[in-house]
Amino acid sequence: MTRLTNTVALSCAAVLGLVGTAMAEPHGTLRWGVGFEPQGWNPQTPPNTTFTQLVYDTLIRIDADGTTLTPGLAESWEITPESLTIRLREGAVFHDGSPVDADAVIANLENVQRAANRWREAVSGIESAVKVDELTVRIDLRHPSPAMPYVLSQRGLAMISPAALEAGTWERIPVGSGPYVYNAEASISGSRYVFDVFEQHWDYDNIGPQRVEVVYLPDASSRFNALLAGQVDAADGDPSQMPSAEAAGLVSDVWRTLRYHLIMFDRDGALGDVRVRQAMCKAMPLEHINAARYDGLLNFPSQRFDEGDPSYNPDIQRYEYDIEAARALMAEAGVSELSLQMPSPDFMRVISELTRESFGMIGIDLDVQMMPTPEYFQSFYSGRYPLIINTFNPEMGGMFNYYGFRFSEGGAANTFNVAPPPRLEELYQLALVAPEEEQPALLQEMAQIIHDEALDCAYFDAVGIVHYNPETIAEIATTTWEPSALRYRDVRMQE
């Protein structure tokens, strides 16, 4: 396995192998209760992989730690400043029997390049994809893109059968190469979605459940009651349910799902003064959010990436909650009143309302616009709102992804098209071409500027909770930084 790094030369050619330990054939049925339905079968559109990871594979996989890259449909890869060369594993096929070959990879990359969503931005560094031979693809890069292997591991880059792409049916009928095949006849729309193991899957011997049934139950209490009644084996839960789960003999698994933060878009206008941004950072009521919404389970990191990442700067200290200091900063900036709008879905109501109250204490009138979850996710890139509290999956994978996506001119999440501080852009360009050993110092200086300029702040690690029945499930499996989805293939059912 290869640790995800921000290097300009990465090869996993010497680390081949399958993930997990070989076991008996898949067996048992996993019934998993979730709070939302599939949004079609285009892997680029849903906010997570709850449904799509069942039917699709990616070229490169993310391990359970959320950062380690491992072979998927690609058994090896090598990246240089000019290109990324991928060697596909032999014998992998789509559900329709067609091979996962170089032509299929090129067709999928071109499909993403045509997309009318942010995944097109994620692959904007790709100039072209060239077939070297049946199982080898060379991706020529417009500019150095050290994080491109990480991009290829993400849900928007899942591989779809070229026949389905050509027929135009791929968004309605999923034809991937994933561990399970969607069983439409056994499924009930709006209720239960059934998936049968794909017997020709390249990693068949390491798949756990023979069948997966994803059961739609819209609220946490209905999911928990279904688990107690034996109608599901595991359920997407809530921290407040953990004592009741333990009392009932259930097991609760807790993992970090998302690194939320205060994302300030309008840094040239309403949020143009660094003192106003710093005041907002100091007024974020993280401890209150922790107590009210997460039962004290949150962590509060000082920066976007953890220790061990090349960009992690040990000198950065997080902005502490201090209303008086925030008021002083607002006064120093000469701002006594400021009105801002912020969107929020219902599942973030507590977070949004506590932030509104806290900001009100420093003279910021925060108008929280409650809206349905699909509309909320669409609002991220609308350019309408000066700030949100959330996160972006494309930020993951290191500073190269984070900076290019959030701060660079033309970045997909730079919705107000704000020019970054000149020194920040200079460091980014230097780091892209620097030798690996020189990159950390450059990336850490970037992290310091982002902190000092309050371009980003108020990080908190949201948690996911899955309650499960140990009488039917021997081993649960989740992925750090992946919300709402089990690693279905890695779940182990009781014999």
CATH of residue 94's domain is: 3.90.76.10
Q: What is the pLDDT of residue 118?
A: 78
Please give the Cα distance from 74 to 135 (Å, whole number): 9
Q: Examine residue 153 and state whether it is found in any structural domain, yes or no.
A: yes
Q: Is 112 left (phi over 0), alpha (psi -120 to 50) or beta?
A: alpha
Tell whether the model's pLDDT for residue 271 goes beyond 80.
Answer: yes
Is 428:267 a contact under the CB 8 Å cutoff? no
Q: Examine residue 447 and state whether it is found in any structural domain, yes or no.
A: yes
Tell whether the model's pLDDT for residue 421 goes beyond 90.
Answer: yes
Judgement on whether residues 445 and 328 belong to the same structural domain of the protein: yes
Q: What is the pLDDT of residue 23?
A: 58
Q: What is the pLDDT of residue 206?
A: 96
Name the domain boundary from 125, 157, 172: 172
Judgement on whether residues 262 and 168 belong to the same structural domain of the protein: no
**Total tally of structural domains belonging to the chain:** 2
Tell whether the model's pLDDT for residue 14 goes beyond 70.
Answer: no
Judgement on whether residues 411 and 288 belong to the same structural domain of the protein: yes
Q: What is the pLDDT of residue 10?
A: 40
Judgement on whether residues 139 and 269 belong to the same structural domain of the protein: no
Judgement on whether residues 262 and 149 belong to the same structural domain of the protein: no
Judgement on whether residues 121 and 267 belong to the same structural domain of the protein: no
* Overall average pLDDT of the 247-268 stretch: 95
Q: What is the pLDDT of residue 39?
A: 81
pLDDT digits (tens, 9 = 90+) for 303-350: 999 999 999 999 999 999 999 999 999 999 999 999 999 999 988 999
Judgement on whether residues 263 and 126 belong to the same structural domain of the protein: no
Judgement on whether residues 285 and 384 belong to the same structural domain of the protein: yes
Q: Examine residue 476 and state whether it is found in any structural domain, yes or no.
A: no
Q: Examine residue 448 and state whether it is found in any structural domain, yes or no.
A: yes
Name the domain boundary from 172, 202, 220: 172
Please give the Cα distance from 404 to 412 (Å, whole number): 8
Name the domain boundary from 144, 172, 200: 172
Q: Examine residue 181 and state whether it is found in any structural domain, yes or no.
A: no
Please give the Cα distance from 287 to 295 (Å, whole number): 10
Judgement on whether residues 12 and 161 belong to the same structural domain of the protein: yes
Q: Examine residue 52 and state whether it is found in any structural domain, yes or no.
A: yes
pLDDT digits (tens, 9 = 90+) for 203-238: 999 999 999 999 999 989 999 999 999 999 999 998
Tell whether the model's pLDDT for residue 276 goes beyond 80.
Answer: yes
State the CATH number of the domain containing residue 416. 3.10.105.10
Q: What is the pLDDT of residue 4?
A: 38
Mean pLDDT of the chain: 92
- Determine the Cα angle at 360 with ends 366 and 368, to 5°: 20
pLDDT digits (tens, 9 = 90+) for 338-381: 999 999 998 899 999 999 999 999 999 999 999 987 788 878 77
**59 is in which domain, residue-wise?**
2-24+36-172
Judgement on whether residues 280 and 162 belong to the same structural domain of the protein: no
Q: Examine residue 141 and state whether it is found in any structural domain, yes or no.
A: yes
Q: What is the pLDDT of residue 21?
A: 44
Tell whether the model's pLDDT for residue 272 goes beyond 90.
Answer: yes
* Overall average pLDDT of the 149-158 stretch: 94
Q: Examine residue 228 and state whether it is found in any structural domain, yes or no.
A: no
* Overall average pLDDT of the 285-313 stretch: 94
> Residue 441: enclosing H or E segment and its boundaries?
helix 439-452
Q: What is the pLDDT of residue 184?
A: 96
**pLDDT band for position 2 (cuts 50, 70, 90):** very low
Is 49:482 a contact under the CB 8 Å cutoff? yes
HEC-encoded secondary structure of 160-203: CCHHHHHHCCCCCCCCCCCCEEEEEEEEECCCEEEEEECCCCCC
Cα 81 → chain centroid: 25
Give 242's contacts (C-beta < 8 A, 6+ positions apart). 252, 295, 465, 467
Q: What is the pLDDT of residue 449?
A: 98
* Phi, psi (degrees; rounded to nearest 5) at 205: -70, -10
Judgement on whether residues 293 and 412 belong to the same structural domain of the protein: yes
Tell whether the model's pLDDT for residue 199 goes beyond 80.
Answer: yes
Tell whether the model's pLDDT for residue 6 goes beyond 60.
Answer: no
